[in-house]
Amino acid sequence: MNLTSQSIPIRHLGRKAFTLIETMIAVAIVGIFFVSLYTGITQGFGIMANTRENLRATQILLDRMEEMRLYSWDQIKTYGTTNSFVPSAFTEAFYPRTTNYYESTAQIGTSNASGDFVYYGTITVTNAGLTNSYNTNMRKVIVTLSWTNGAVVRSHSISTFVSEYGIQKYIY
């Protein structure tokens, strides 16, 4: 038996592993992949946090607007006076206070909770600014909300008209 006939051919002796350049290119591609993956995850969490802040702001704005429906016309007309029922400024926490049903004194989500921030709001009641004959029987209510999370200041606003006799008087 001839040993040279069973040995490895000379052309395959140098091809037993990857070269250093091929390995470095593969590591660079995998590195770019992981950096892109973690950047996408981080941006996704940032977008979700921003959406939560905006949703809570919308809840607060709608809550204050619905509160305006509970006031009588006389209470709305007195806005800006010393005996006003409508508050001109308010604050709300990001995590609203809720009462535990089993312990009436327990507060969940208090404003001192870690990571909590405060929304600052104003309610403005002005003349409707209409030129129609019923202008004196209407008011414009503007609720503005602003908050700071980190270094970014954000703000939302909502407005509506309130009439003395309600919508039913003008339609029917």
Give me the tens of pLDDT residue by residue for the chain, a chain 172 residues long. Answer: 555 556 555 565 556 667 889 999 999 999 999 999 999 999 999 999 889 999 999 999 999 998 888 888 888 888 877 777 788 899 888 876 655 544 444 443 344 444 567 899 999 998 888 887 777 888 899 999 999 887 889 999 999 988 887 755 555 4
This prediction's pTM: 0.68
Please give the residue range of the domain that contains residue 64: 20-171
**Measured distance between the N- and C-terminal CA atoms of the chain, rounded to whole angstroms:** 114
Tally the domains of the chain.
1
Distance CA 149, CA 64 (A): 22
Q: Evaluate whether residue 151 is within a structural domain.
A: yes
Q: Evaluate whether residue 152 is within a structural domain.
A: yes
Structure-block tokens of residue 111: 């404003």
Q: Evaluate whether residue 3 is within a structural domain.
A: no
Q: Evaluate whether residue 7 is within a structural domain.
A: no
Q: Evaluate whether residue 12 is within a structural domain.
A: no
Q: Evaluate whether residue 13 is within a structural domain.
A: no
